Amino acid sequence: MSGAAVVALVYLQAAVCLLLGCQRMLRFPLSERAVAGLLSWLFSLCFGLALWAGLGLAKTGPVTIPVGRWHLSGGFDFLLSLHLDWLSLPFLLLGTALCGVVAAFSERYLHREPGYHRFFFTLCLFGLGYTLTILGGSIEVLYASWEFLGLSSAMLIGFFHDRPAPVRNGLYAFAVYRICDLGLVLASVLVFQQFHSGELEVWLGRGQWPNIETPLTPAMAGLIGGLLLLSAAGKSGQWPFCGWLPRAMEGPTPSTAIFYGALSVHAGAYLLLRCSPLLDASPAFAAAATLIGLGTALTARLVGRVQNDIKCRLAYSSLAQVGLIFAEIGLGFRWLPVLHVLGHAALRSVQFLKAPSLLHEIHELHSALGEYHLAPTSSQPSWSYRFGLERGYLDTLIGALVLRPALGLGKALRSADRQVLKWLVGPPPS
Amino acid sequence: MSLHLLVLLLPWLAFWRPTRRLTLGVLGCDLLLAFGLLEQGTPTADELSLTLLPYTCMIYLVLVLATPLKQRQAGSTRALLAGLGLDLWFFSIQSPLWLALAWPLTHLPLWLQLPRCSWTRRLALTFWLPGCLSFAVGCWGYLGSGAPPLWAMLALLGAVALRKAIFPVHQWLPALFERASLPHLIAFCCPQVGAYATVRLLTAQAPEPLLVALGTLALFTSLYGAILALGNRSLRGVYASLFMGQTSLVYAGLQCTTPAGLAGGLAVWVAGGLALTGLGMAIWVLEARRGRQWLDTYQGGYDRSPVLAGTFLLLGLTSVGFPGTLGFVSQELLLDGTLEHYPQVGVLAAFTACLNGITVMATYFRLFCGSRQEYGYSQSIRRRERLAVYMLLAVLLGMGLAPQNFLASRARIANQLLRARALLITPQAE
């Protein structure tokens, strides 16, 4: 029962995604109302299917649903399978419910916006990516859906793409995702080397989550765990990748709410929870997760206090909470972080969705009572104030240590190539 | 007349009167016949040759379909037809003598289309002439009975490096992309004649250190190309660097003497070739509307050409192995197949794909977003261009979702090559 519901849920999302993606290419544009209605109904239906799957889960216990074999080549077996257990169910319910709420909210919020259809297509792509991340039964499904999350996230940050700033920030987020996703790619390759299969039950172990024991050695568990931690930290904006989250606030409010307040920002926490057998097997991995989480929480607290923009402040609050969730996971808690994620995601998305109305109300209040400004009164020492204003110097560090050297190297190589050509063929005509 | 001969001769049918309709008809028929030949099989060609015939036909068909109105000239179409005829012939040959004869001829169609400016021709001559001579010398060493001498293999290695633009003799490729006709250059590069010569003459017989040397150089080229693309201000320069980076991975796979690694290299050959053809076509279509593009400012114009923008992004991501596409499964197989014996390939290939992904996204944003610039004329893509895009996307996405047959065919070819290698190398060792 739960298997059929889960497969139907994924196929439905994929079908709607394909329909929305092709409508412009095949020249049959749907109306605004039709698109928003379609998405609201889709996610409502998906929520219903997720509930149904949950009822089935109570009867049958965790299930792995083989959807088909992607390919079998070179001795490597790539299976497409979905996995539903007590960890994936709450995340699935949360995801479908919030996607539905945001689709309904956006129908009016983005009315007559030039990128209306594009927004809903990207939301649908994100919904599909999120569902597959949560339900992925193998590491390659997890990786593929992880990339969809990253792509849809970057596209929505750059949604208002007639302005350079959102586009630049979208690119920044995409670059961080892409570099951090290297961890997941290499982890997937290592898993295939060890087991010739990427099935979660094969490399994480069988049993009822969280009481699972991995067959990996502690050293290998630590190595794979470290790589997964890199991906998780990138997706959740953890230290040292905190810089992209406040930049992501350039996107439209509904996408900010669902991506950076609720679902996308917690995807890293989900990945760590899913890989909890590795955390149990490798104390070094657990310690790294804890330290990164605590470091992020501290940084976000210091930086968030001096932000003067409501969305940035909320973003840093999110980061601090997600940092605490990482620390909880690293310290060995399993159900507490799940509850923390559910509560935090619900609260934060409401806050983000409410933020524009709140500003509107404050402006109305100002026009009624006269504008006033409160001078910032803070007992913060000056070094922490500067640290906060510079956003923890992380962007500066990444720029100085990674970005500028990489661009400089590209420039130097191009110049070297030109010199070689000049020497071999002579100077090119202007 | 055998079907194989018909496939080889058909492109020449339109050579004397290359009207657009006749050319498209001939290329379409040739593609269908090549697929028929692949299905039916023939004693005159093995599976490697048979799979390369429809692949090459598709590249040329896409290029002719995408030819803008103002660039339709008899000479240009003739060069494409001649290029197709010669490439099909080259991919059908197994004898070193005939390969030596066909190798310089495959340069002719592009050579005749190069601008008459002496610098461009001098550039091509500086790199191609030593390549052709080196190839002829290498093939001469293969003519005697018994194992080919080491100098012959080294000469072939040099020829392949010059043709493929492998570091340190890669400088001609970005320079030529800046100056030559884009479709003719794509037709010259994307079928990857050098890879075919490598498989036929080196993979089967060369000692492992020589193959590893080729693979290492290719891998370095791949990383070099990815860095070269970072911050490049010219769209064509970015494309050339991406091309260099992604197609070098083929050689990193061809160095492998494991079935999975070799199959991965063969898969990346076709997947990367088709996707880069599509990306090149998208750039060409864009240039036909806006002129030469530079990436130092945001161009904007997404709203005027959403399909073209989507096509550019999709094909760009396909060419760097984004999940859900043929490029993804091919690179995944390459990574998994090479990590055990050649871990550096897996790590560097993943890093290259990561950098190239960022470059594609940055280029997309620069070309289509970030500015409110209005173009006073239509930028939508035409029916024939649309057809070319749909054809490529159907292949790349369809085979990406259901890659079993394609990858099984690559695995069979890899096994055949390794069996032939075992037969040829073992007596030498004895």
Query: How far apart, in whole angstroms, are the C-alpha atoms of residue B81 and residue B18?
Result: 8
Contact A185 B335 (CB under 8 A): yes
B129 — contact with chain A (CB < 8 Å)?
Answer: no
B236 — contact with chain A (CB < 8 Å)?
Answer: no
Contact B407 A73 (CB under 8 A): yes
Segment B353-364 shows an average pLDDT of: 93
Contact A178 B354 (CB under 8 A): yes
Which of B230, B336, B356, B417 should one mutate to test binding to chain A, selecting the residue with the greatest count of A CBs within 10 A? Answer: B336
Higher pLDDT, B349 or A27: B349
Q: Which residues of A touch B117 (CB under 8 A)?
A: 429
Which member of A148, A420, A429 has the closest CB to residue B119?
Answer: A429
- Count of CB atoms situated within 10 Å of the CB of A15: 12
Query: How far apart, in whole angstroms, are the C-alpha atoms of residue A334 and residue A369?
Result: 50
- At residue A70, the pLDDT reads 78
Segment A347-352 shows an average pLDDT of: 89
Contact B322 A167 (CB under 8 A): no
Question: pLDDT (tens digit, 9 = 90+) per residue, A140-149?
Answer: 889 999 999 9
Q: Which residues of B touch A24 (CB under 8 A)?
A: 306-307, 310
Q: What share of chain B is helix, strand, coil (3-state, %, to 5)?
A: 75, 0, 20
Q: Which residue of chain B is at minimal alpha-carbon distance from A21? A: B310
Phi, psi of B401 (to 5 degrees): -85, -30
Which member of A161, A171, A185 has the closest CB to residue B302?
Answer: A161
Q: Which residues of A touch B333 (CB under 8 A)?
A: 73-74, 76
Segment B31-48 shows an average pLDDT of: 87
Handedness of CA A148, A149, A153, A159 (dihedral sign): positive
* Residue positions counted in chain A: 430
Q: Which residues of A touch B350 (CB under 8 A)?
A: 182, 185-186, 189
Query: How far apart, in whole angstroms, are the C-alpha atoms of residue A257 and residue B216?
Result: 46
Question: pLDDT (tens digit, 9 = 90+) per residue, B398-426?
Answer: 998 888 888 889 989 998 888 887 776 65
The Cα of B13 is separated from the nearest Cα of chain A by a number of Å equal to: 34
Question: pLDDT (tens digit, 9 = 90+) per residue, B365-387?
Answer: 999 988 776 666 666 788 888 88
ipTM of the complex in this document: 0.91
Give B 206-225 residues with CB within 8 A of chain A: 224
Contact A164 B371 (CB under 8 A): yes
Which of A409, A425, A430 should one mutate to test binding to chain B, selecting the residue with the greatest count of B CBs within 10 A? Answer: A425
Which of B126, B167, B171 should one mutate to test binding to chain A, selecting the residue with the greatest count of A CBs within 10 A? Answer: B171
- At residue B365, the pLDDT reads 93
Segment B81-101 shows an average pLDDT of: 93
The DSSP line for A365-407 is: HHHHH----PPP-----HHHHHHHHTGGGHHHHHIIIIIHHHH
Mean pLDDT for chain B? 87
Q: Which residues of B touch A167 (CB under 8 A)?
A: 298, 365, 369-370
Segment A124-139 shows an average pLDDT of: 92
Segment B33-37 shows an average pLDDT of: 90
Q: Which residue of chain A is at minimal alpha-carbon distance from B386? A: A25
CA B311 remoteness from chain centre: 19
Query: How far apart, in whole angstroms, are the C-alpha atoms of residue A215 and residue A218?
Result: 9
**Among the listed ranges A86-95, A357-366, B123-132, B216-225, which one has the minimum average pLDDT value?**
A357-366
Q: Is the pLDDT of residue A163 over 50?
A: yes
Q: Are residues B209 and B268 in contact, defined by beta-carbon separation less than 8 angstroms?
A: no
B227 — contact with chain A (CB < 8 Å)?
Answer: yes
Question: pLDDT (tens digit, 9 = 90+) per residue, A29-68?
Answer: 788 888 889 999 999 999 999 999 999 888 888 888 888 7
Q: Is the pLDDT of residue B334 over 90?
A: no
B232 — contact with chain A (CB < 8 Å)?
Answer: yes
pTM of the model: 0.92
The DSSP line for B157-224 is: HHHHHHHHT-TTS-THHHHHHHHS-HHHHHHHHTT-HHHHHIIIIIITTS-HHHHHHHHHHHHHHHHH
Of the candidates A276, A143, A137, A133, the residue with the CA atom closest to the CA atom of residue A199: A137
Which of B258, B365, B381, B415 should one mutate to test binding to chain A, selecting the residue with the greatest count of A CBs within 10 A? Answer: B365
Q: Is the pLDDT of residue B71 over 80?
A: no
Of the candidates A167, A255, A119, the residue with the CA atom closest to the CA atom of residue B300: A167
**Among the listed ranges A376-380, B271-275, B348-352, B364-368, which one has the minimum average pLDDT value?**
A376-380
The Cα of A410 is separated from the nearest Cα of chain B by a number of Å equal to: 5
Contact B260 A406 (CB under 8 A): no
The Cα of A360 is separated from the nearest Cα of chain B by a number of Å equal to: 27
- At residue B378, the pLDDT reads 65
- At residue A373, the pLDDT reads 59
- At residue A399, the pLDDT reads 83
Which member of A70, A162, A409 has the closest CB to residue B371?
Answer: A162
- Dihedral over alpha carbons B192, B193, B195, B201 (to 10 degrees): 180
B317 — contact with chain A (CB < 8 Å)?
Answer: yes
Q: What share of chain A is helix, strand, coil (3-state, %, to 5)?
A: 75, 5, 20
Percentage of chain B modeled with pLDDT above 70: 95
Q: Which residue of chain B is at minimal alpha-carbon distance from A167? A: B370
Q: Which residue of chain B is at minimal alpha-carbon distance from A24? A: B307
Q: Which of A390-404, B171-185, B324-338: highest mean pLDDT? A: B171-185
Question: pLDDT (tens digit, 9 = 90+) per residue, A367-411?
Answer: 787 766 555 556 667 888 888 888 888 888 888 888 888 889 999
- Dihedral over alpha carbons A417, B270, B410, B253 (to 10 degrees): 10
A124 CB-contact burial (10 Å; exposed 0-12 / middle 13-18 / buried 19+): buried
* Residue positions counted in chain B: 430
B13 — contact with chain A (CB < 8 Å)?
Answer: no
Mean pLDDT for chain A? 88
Q: Which residue of chain A is at minimal alpha-carbon distance from B262? A: A74
Q: Is the pLDDT of residue B389 over 60?
A: yes
Q: Which residue of chain B is at minimal alpha-carbon distance from A184? A: B350
Of the candidates B71, B113, B15, B5, the residue with the CA atom closest to the CA atom of residue B384: B71
Q: How confident is the model at residue B429 (pLDDT cuts 50, 70, 90)?
A: very low
- Which two three-digit tokens encode residue A105? 């909210």
Kindly provide the b/e burial profile for residues B394-404, where b requires at least 16 CB atoms within 10 angstroms of the residue's own CB.
ebbeebbeebb
Q: Which residue of chain A is at minimal alpha-carbon distance from B414? A: A74
Contact A424 B126 (CB under 8 A): yes
Q: Which residue of chain A is at minimal alpha-carbon distance from B410? A: A73
- At residue A379, the pLDDT reads 66
Q: Which residue of chain B is at minimal alpha-carbon distance from A414? A: B228
Q: Is the pLDDT of residue A356 over 90?
A: no
Question: pLDDT (tens digit, 9 = 90+) per residue, B236-255?
Answer: 999 999 999 999 999 988 88
- B144: helix, strand or coil: coil
Q: Is the pLDDT of residue B430 over 50?
A: no
Q: Tally A–B CB contacts below 8 A.
A: 164
Q: Which residues of B touch A181 (CB under 8 A)?
A: 354
- B261: helix, strand or coil: helix
Handedness of CA B74, B77, B82, B85 (dihedral sign): negative
Q: How confident is the model at residue B276 (pLDDT cuts 50, 70, 90)?
A: very high
Strand partners, B234: B294
